[in-house]
Structure formats: C-alpha cells, structure tokens
A and B are shown apart, each in its own frame.
Chain A
C-alpha cells in the first residue's frame, strides 16, 4: 500500500517535472515553437469561424422563417384547362378555411417606370393584398393598400426609397403620379428600408408594390398562380394543408398535377440540411489544415529528438525509463498543439464575430465549436507526437553517449 502510494507520488513528481521541462523547451525556442503551432492555429481558427458563421446564418434563416409565421405554406397553382390559376373569389374561400389567418397572392412583374425626364426599365414590381401589410412593417409613410384598391384594380402604388430618390428628388412623392408601363399610377405610400435581410437576399426586394389585381393586368395574366397561406400556428399546419388540398382538388376536378403545396417547415428542413452539409464540407477542408498542422508538429518534434540525442541518452543513462522519456516528449507535443489550439480558438471567435457583423447575422458563441477546436488540437498533439516520442524513448544511451 505504502509502496503504491510512493510510486504514484513519484509518478506525479515526474509528470510535473516533464511539464516544466517541456515549457522550458517551448519557451527557449520561441520563434520555432510559434512557426510550429501556426498550422494548428490556422486550422482551429478556420474550424471555429466556419462553424460559428454557418450556425449564425442558419439561425437567422430560421428566425426569418419564424417571423414569416410558423406553419406558413406556399402554394403554386397551375390549374387545369378550365381555370389555370386562382381567382379573387378562390382566394377569399381559402382565407375562410379554418385556422387560416390570411393569404398573400404573389404576382411579380418587371416593368418600366417614367416620370418627367426620368425613365427606368427593368424595375421589379409585386402585386400584394391588404393582408400583406399585416405581416410586415414595410410602410414608412402614406397608406397601405385596402380592399377597395383590390376590387377596383386601382392604379395606386407604394414605392421604395431608391425609387423615391430616382423619380422624386426633392419632391414629396405621396399623391404624385408615376407612369408604370405608360399607365398613370398614384403614389400612396413609401416602403420602409428593412435592411438586407436573409429573406430579401433569397427572394429579392421589390421596388414597387401595387394591388395584386392591378399587377395581374400589368403582367397580362388573369389568375393568381402563386399564393402564400398564413396559419394561426404551426400546430394547425397539417389540418390546413389537408383542407387546402381538398379545396384545390375539388376546384380542379381532382386532376393530377394542378397545384403544389410547400410548407415552410419543409423548406426550412431543406435549408438546414443544405447548411449542415456545407458546414461539414467546409469543416472537412478546415480539418485538413489541422492535419497539416499536426505534421508540422511531428516534424518539429522529430528534429528536436535528433538534436537532443545526447540529452536523451544521458537521461536514460542516469536512470530515466523509456516511458518517462516518451511522456516528456508527448507532453511537449501536446502542449505545443494545445497552445496553437487555444490561440486558434481566440482568433476563431474574433474572426467569426467580425464575419457575423459583416453579414448582419447574430453572433452566438458555440461552446461545441470551442470544445471541438480544443479537443481536435489535443488529439493532433498526441497522435502526431506519438511517433517522435517513441523514437526518443527507444534511443540507445550508448549511441548517444558516444557522440559526447
């Protein structure tokens, strides 16, 4: 019992002493140690920055999905020969389904806009309904669209600040006339700058919004082919989808391929899996640099073993066991790698904070990523330190001493 205790204490003493010797060796060759850990440092930085940034992007995507309303679904309608889309009445009937809070028809067109001498083609225009304005705080000034605008297919529009700057420099646009595809429209409101949100990056922003009935006329279509259905909570999503399917099946005489319903959940799932695939791929590439870093450490340790042959031989001659020598070199490789890893974690966090700021996504510290970075560098130190340490422990003391 006492002997075992003595051995444990002796082992601990040895261990502490090994750490001390390793630290001395690392700090004595500062430049070389720094160059050695550079690879690990860059690798860990890359891994942390990637994971944090991708998770930031994915958080803001799912946030914007949530803000669009949980359980929201979009419907693409091709219809049949009798009716190749949805009428205003159809939209009202869908709105009347239980758990449906509203629908937004999506009618998009590219138009030319003119006022006085100013002219611009290729402007993106969207047709919306009053419900659209209850899902977004998109209006800075003036009024939104109302049901009468819809029924009358009124020639009124809301324009964004870029369009204001282009056509109404120094003039209050509200109440002014704008020519869209040569037809006169009255500006009734100005859209707010909502900033570069992920949704806009995905779907593109609209310069002009008009009643959807008006937009149908402008685009030469008669019927709505795309509509977003809002639901009063994710729980009702399945019920609404079934009701919607029943309604559309009946509307299009149970013919095949007349419509397609995509729920936000499924879009989000696809997005999520795409993002995680991307982060796995990028993470894989980043971990290659960790392996390269590991090889750097191995190289340095092998050089170090060769340089210290005499020292190792002498230590063995005065009683160091092979395992004691091996542990000392392993600790040195481990410490080197860990120093690189810890610096890399710091740099990675700083870099991802900067990246998240630049991309406008929220920065959240991922403890998983930190653990991964530190764990990975610890593993790299041990794996790549193993064979040099082994080589050192197997050195023959005689050969070493003959070099004296």
Chain B
C-alpha cells in the first residue's frame, strides 16, 4: 500500500480565529496534523486550549479561517453545506463532550437517528441500532429514555450512536470526562477494541492518564499543536 492512500486526513497551518469586537481572538495558531487510517490518536490539552474547536474542524462541523484541510482526498473548504452533511453522515462518528441525547427518545431511537438521515429503512435501522447497543453492553436498556440511564450508560448510547453508521473516523470529545474511573476504564476498553477492529479514533482529553490509552499522543497548548514525547501505553 502506498503512503498516500494510507493518509486519512491532512492539515496544514490551520488557523481559527473569532472577531471579538475590534480585536481578533486566534484560537488555533497554525495547526498541522496528518492522520493515517487505523490510527488511535489522543489530543491532550488544558481547558480552553482549543481542543473542541479543532475537533469541530476535523469533523467538518466548522471551517477553518485559513489553512488547508484535506479529508479523504477532498479539500473541505470547497464543499457545500450539503456535502459536509454527507461527510458527517457517512465518514464521521461524533461523541460530544456531554453525550448529548434527545430526551424524548429512548436509547434505540437515539441510536437510530443518524441512520434516518442516511436514508436507512426502518427494519435495517432497528437491527443495526440494536446490534450497536448490544456491542456497548446495553442490551437490557434498549427502550430506556436518557433520564432513566446513568451517565456511563448515556455515554455508551452516545458511542453506539457514533458507531452505528460505521464511520471511518470516530471523534470523541472528553468521552470519560463525566464518568467515574471504572466506567471510564470500560469505555477505554471499548475504544481499544474498536481500534483493533480497524477504526480510526481521535480522542480529546485534558487528562494525561486517559490520553495514554491512545497509540499516538499530541499536545495542544494555547492553540498550538505539538507531537508528544510522552510514552503511551501501547
């Protein structure tokens, strides 16, 4: 396999800034990052350093102010809203900071949601959602609404929802932030399995111990990204 076909995405000098009155707040200061297929990367940085901002750009929720971002061979800057939505639907699975679920829907329906927008038919949808929930160990909680689930269970529903479209890239923003250590460890185990199955994972965290679960680690401080010297577990 050639080097280029293995590159999943490629970022050069990504800058993200916001106009704050007369001044300009530069959040990402020229980030460069290359990811290969099957990689498991953690992005470690203190709160406010721009981790979520970076993740939003990687997941095509947001566009950089300047810089070059090529995902799967296409230049993101050139794409329309609709094309970006397609990428989010097909390529990316998000796990947000607060495992955001729709409160009126049960676990199954929450997991089915991305499949609805991908145009998957009801029976197939239910089958895949159930399969995913079983995989994250929630076979007993299929029809529980979010308020009947613990934080760890909600996080697992969020993971099932992120994985149900079989994305090529899993983006997790502080996936263990709201969890106790045991549950956090379970989630990390699940990530490891997913990575062993060939999923590309980018995990954002402010916790060095959590970051060490990944095979590769980068630090982000005040919008500047650097490869970490720190040894990871694997």
Query: Which residues of A come within 8 Å of B, CB atoms?
Result: 6-7, 9-11, 13-14, 17, 24, 28, 310-311, 314-324, 397-398, 401, 404
Contacts of B88 in A (CB 8 A): 316-319
Please indicate the chain B residues that have their CB under 8 angstroms from the CB of A11 in the complex.
119
Binary contact readout B83-123 vs A (1 if CB under 8 angstroms, 0 otherwise): 00110111000101110101010000000011011111110
Residues of chain B within 8 A of A397, CB atoms compared: 61
Q: Beyond A398-B61, A398-B62, is A319–B100 a contact (Cβ under 8 Å)? A: no
Chain A contact residues: over half helix, strand or loop, or mixed?
A: helix
Which residue of chain B has the shortest Cβ distance to A14 in the bound complex? B119
Within 8 Å CB of A404, what residues of B?
96-98, 100
Q: Is B165 an interface residue (CB 8 A)?
A: yes
Indicate whether B81 reaches chain A with its CB closer than 8 angstroms. Answer: yes
Q: How far is the CA of A11 from the CA of B120 in the complex (A)?
A: 9
Whether the pair A318, B117 counts as a contact (CB closer than 8 A) is yes
B117 touching A320, Cβ below 8 Å: yes
CA gap between A398 and B102 in the complex, in Å: 17
Interface residues of B (CB under 8 A from A): 56, 59, 61-62, 81-82, 85-86, 88-90, 94, 96-98, 100, 102, 104, 113-114, 116-122, 161, 165
Given A314-B100, A319-B90: A13 and B121 interface contact (C-beta under 8 Å): yes
Contacts of B97 in A (CB 8 A): 404
Residues of A within 8 A of B116 (CB): 13-14, 17
Shortest distance from the beta carbon of A215 to any chain B beta carbon, whole Å: 82
Residues in B neighbouring A28, C-beta threshold 8 A: 104
B86 surroundings in chain A (CB, below 8 A): 319, 321
B100 touches A13 (CB 8 A): no
A13:B119 contact, CB within 8 angstroms: yes
CB pair B82 A322 closer than 8 Å:
yes
Q: Of residues B82, B104, B117, which shows the largest number of chain A Cβ atoms within 10 Å of its Cβ?
A: B117
Cα–Cα distance between A20 and B56 once the two chains are bound (Å): 30
A317–B82 CB distance below 8 A: no
B190 to chain A, nearest CB (A): 19
In contact, B85 and A316 (Cβ under 8 angstroms): yes
Write out the residue numbers on chain A whose beta carbons fall within 8 Å of the beta carbon of B165.
319
Specify which chain B residues have a CB less than 8 angstroms from the CB of A311 in the assembled complex.
Answer: 102
The reply to whether A13 and B120 contact each other, CB–CB distance below 8 Å, is yes
Q: Is the CB of B117 within 8 A of A310?
A: no
On whether the beta carbons of A319 and B85 are closer than 8 Å, the reply is yes
- Across the interface, do B161 and A318 meet the contact criterion of CB distance under 8 Å? yes
